[in-house]
Structure 1
Amino acid sequence: MKKINLIITSALLYFTFSFTVNAQTDNKLGVFLAYGTEIENIGIGANAEFPIIDKLTISPSFIYYLPKDESGVKINWFEFNANANYYFLDEETIGVYAIAGLNYSSVKVSYDDNDLGFLGDFSASDGRFGLNLGGGANFNIGGSITPFAEVKYVIIDEGQLVVAGGVKFRI
């Protein structure tokens, strides 16, 4: 029984060590600007990138789109993303990756009837889960700052194309 435990423990340590040695070593935090085609507005975002194995990172992000006011109707929209980035090209000057992940989008619509007085106030919100598919590139310029650009399509109800660009900081 002790031999089996020793073999299992040794195998687990070997696999853990081999994944750690081969994984990209830089954790990154980033900020960016984004544009969503469904909301037709600019958003401000933050993301992170955590390597798990060679060429694969986990990349959570948050985007808050600037509030819109269309004919008295106010729209607030934000999204959380849990993506996996697979680097299929990782050279000294550029790292190109595919994006796949989960999305949670929340939209709040409100109407304040201050002007007319007979329609009343209205407010509604909705949250939906969707899928992200896309790609991006890191532009390695040296140092601890890395500019990046991403394009993803959020598969959710009407769908939304999101184009983003910003910088990631090595931590």
Structure 2
Amino acid sequence: MKKIHLLITAIIIITFSLTASAQSDTKIGALLGYGTEIKTIGLGANAEFPIMEKLTISPSFIYYLPKDESGIKINWFEVNANANYYFLDEENINVYGIAGLNYSSIKVKYENSFGLGGDFSSSDGRIGLNLGAGANFNIGSSITPFAEIKYVIIDGGSLLLQAV
């Protein structure tokens, strides 16, 4: 558990330090998210690389804070590879549509502390599709706040809100 927290802290520090040194068109930074399927907050990193005038590639990684529900420990992370198409490009706001791929991994672990039965652990990974929209807000600094809402089409589906 401590290794995961150290990894998350390192990702956040690295991404904030890269934000200041990245080219003006390339964006690299940290994000804060909330997933409706796991119902917890996630921390992560994202980037945006222009490939055409209104089109960017945007990879991201989100690690959701572990949950413990009635002795069942849940760990969840996701990796996304999105394409963002900018359809509104104003001075203070840029609005884009999102389409891409999602890989979600979940690990469930139950440790029997009563001595009845055994321990149980299982993990699974799924691939889904991302559809959504987002906006970048130009505040006149090297940091560009953003907000996104996207729906992940995977099993029962999940809505993801993220921002920084």
Are the counterparts in 2 of residues 25 and 51 from structure 1 also a CA contact under 8 Å?
no
Matched position secondary structure for 1:77: strand
* Mapping of residues 1-171 of structure 1, within 5 Å: 26-114=25-113, 116-166=114-164
Using a 3 Å threshold, how does the CA distance of structure 1 residues 78 and 159 change in structure 2: closer, same or farther? same
Are the counterparts in 2 of residues 67 and 77 from structure 1 also a CA contact under 8 Å?
yes
Are the counterparts in 2 of residues 73 and 109 from structure 1 also a CA contact under 8 Å?
yes
Q: Distance in 2 between matches of 1:143 and 1:112?
A: 48
Matched position secondary structure for 1:74: strand
Percent identical among aligned pairs is: 75
Gaps of 5+ in 2: 1-22
Gaps of 5+ in 1: 1-23, 167-171
Matched position secondary structure for 2:115: coil
- Tell me the TM-score normalized by structure 2: 0.85
How many corresponding residue pairs?
A: 142
Alpha-carbon distance, 1:25 to partner: 5.8
Q: Distance in 2 between matches of 1:98 and 1:51?
A: 14
Q: Distance in 1 between matches of 2:145 and 2:47?
A: 13
Q: Distance in 2 between matches of 1:32 and 1:48?
A: 10
Q: Distance in 2 between matches of 1:87 and 1:142?
A: 19
Are the counterparts in 2 of residues 98 and 134 from structure 1 also a CA contact under 8 Å?
yes
Letter in 2 for 1:39: I
User: Runs of at least 4 residues of structure 1 off by over 3 A?
Assistant: none
Q: Distance in 1 between matches of 2:135 and 2:43?
A: 19
Matched position secondary structure for 2:117: coil
Letter in 2 for 1:129: I
Alpha-carbon distance, 1:108 to partner: 0.3
Q: CA RMSD for the aligned pairs? A: 1.1
Q: Distance in 2 between matches of 1:34 and 1:119?
A: 37
- Tell me the TM-score normalized by structure 1: 0.81
